[in-house]
Structure 1
């Protein structure tokens, strides 16, 4: 009975923690409302606040990678997940097309387009985590099987000795 309660509690905690993890970071391939809004990365511009969020669009040109410790403290795209993805942004508004090549924020009238955006998971880090998790599960399974076999043999040996004592056979 204790074992059943323990397994039920463990099952519940595992799925609760997994649910919390997936609420925090959406898995690859799933598009949420937050990801839809990040297609137009207007909130990541560092220069003019007057630029409408829908005046440019961005698409990915690189893999998701981890931010450096300095970037995590200074860059807004590294704050949410601690990861960044290289993007190429282009103006949608023809009026801003003449400012397309002005990307530094130090010029008076220039508008900086973002070159990175936040991304939830780095594939290499997730691969390492998966291998560690599977390795831990495999080791627990092997240890459990070894303990199970040892216990079964011990119980069988004790039953044989009790039977031998009842019959009167010396072991």
Structure 2
């Protein structure tokens, strides 16, 4: 009986630990891993600079006559965009950007400013994957504990039957 209580206690302790960690960590939208986009990278001489990923605003970066900044969240590309747009080729995700011309000397009719650039991770998708993984862990832990309880109970009953058979008593 003590073994069953101890095993039950351990299973509940594991579940309580998971719950406590989830509450204390406070899984929020900003808690996913964020990788800076080329427009967010700060160039510091003491740090190793990361070359910006090729994006849809290559024409803007090549001429350096415009500046772009992110105005929205990363989101998955549509099926049509995956086949046609350059910014969806890298990761299959896009984020809206706003670009403005710096120099007025450039012929604005020749080069169009981009509206999107590629991004690595969509926060909603990453959060959904995280909670799916945690839910699967809880289900497997519950099934394992249930199987463990059943197996121990069966082994204890078999041992009790063997003991009764040896003693010769008819107590069941």
TM-score bracket for the superposition, by shorter chain length: 0.5 to 0.7
What is the rounded CA distance, in whole Å, between the counterparts of 1:53 and 1:137 in structure 2? 51
Query: Aligned partners of 1:137 and 1:112: how far apart in 2?
Result: 49
Alignment partner, residue 34 of structure 2: 28
TM-superposed CA distance for 1:143, in Å, is: 0.6
Unpaired segments ≥5 residues, structure 2? 1-32, 42-47
In the superposition, the TM-score normalised over structure 1's length comes to 0.64
Which residue of structure 2 lines up, in the alignment, with residue 144 of structure 1?
144
Aligned partners of 1:76, 1:34: CA distance in 2, in Å?
Answer: 24
TM-score by length of 2: 0.63
Partner of 1:97: 104
Task: Render the CA deviation track for 1:7-45: whole Å, top value 9, x for unaligned.
Answer: xxxxxxxxxxxxxxxxxxxx41467989641498652x3
Aligned length: 130
Contact 2:70 2:96 in 1 (8 A): yes
Structure 1 unaligned spans of 5+: 1-26
Show the counterpart of 1:63.
73
CA contact (8 A) 1:58 1:89 kept: yes
Distance 2:65 2:54 in 1: 11
> Secondary structure at the residue paired with 2:74?
strand
Measured at CA, do residues 57 and 41 of structure 1 come closer, stay the same or move farther in structure 2, by a change above 3 Å? farther
